[in-house]
Amino acid sequence: MPKPEEMYQCQTTNCGCIYNPEKGDRKGKVPKGVGFDDLPAEWKCPVCGASKKAFRPLGGPGAAG
């Protein structure tokens, strides 16, 4: 389980979908508690199919200040 400081949310620049580690991704079969950095490399946005590279942090490491 990721540490609280690793549980930041990421939002895709394509469709605005937010990956929330506290909820996981039911469609992508990602359980609750999986941090964004721990998602498989082949994971895609459940809305638009964008890769992980299209996501930007909303908080935590690397977030826009």
| 1-60 under CATH 1.10.10.10, yes or no | no
pTM of the model: 0.75
The residue to which tokens 């498989």 are assigned: 40
16-41 pLDDT, tens digit per residue, is 899 999 999 999 999 999 999 999 99
pLDDT recorded at residue 26: 94
pLDDT recorded at residue 4: 53
pLDDT recorded at residue 12: 86
Classified as helix, coil or strand, 34 is coil
- For the sheet with 18-19, list strands across it: 18-19, 10-12, 55-57
Neighbours of 48 (CB within 10 A): 12
Position 13 confidence tier, pLDDT thresholds 50, 70, 90: confident
